[in-house]
Amino acid sequence: MNWRELAFYDAVADHGTARSLMGDEVLAGIARELVTEVCRQLKPDWIARESVRARLRSTIKRLLARNNYPPDQQKEAIDLVLRQMEHFANEWSEKGVPED
């Protein structure tokens, strides 16, 4: 995993029993998909628009559900993932996505 994927891995792995129930490989796959999604939708100020945030929240929720993420941990994970996306999106939209 690269450092971008690791940041999103931490966002989904550090909630309750997610790591023990799902395992590192599944959580790493989720992190990779999240990084891909951020890079795909990257535009200046995109995260500030409520319609985009709602669509991202829905995308994240579906991704977690598809991977059998513990439902009781989803809200916290979704909120943390959105904060991670906000942080990286602002930086990457201004400076471009850095190489590893």
- Six-digit token string for 62: 């579906």
pLDDT score, position 18: 80
Q: Is residue 50 classed as helix, strand or coil in its secondary structure? A: helix
The phi-psi region of residue 68 (left if phi > 0; otherwise alpha if psi is between -120 and 50; otherwise beta) is left
For the stretch 27-56, pLDDT in tens is 899 989 988 877 776 666 666 678 877 888
User: Using 50, 70 and 90 to split pLDDT, how confident is the model at 22?
Assistant: confident
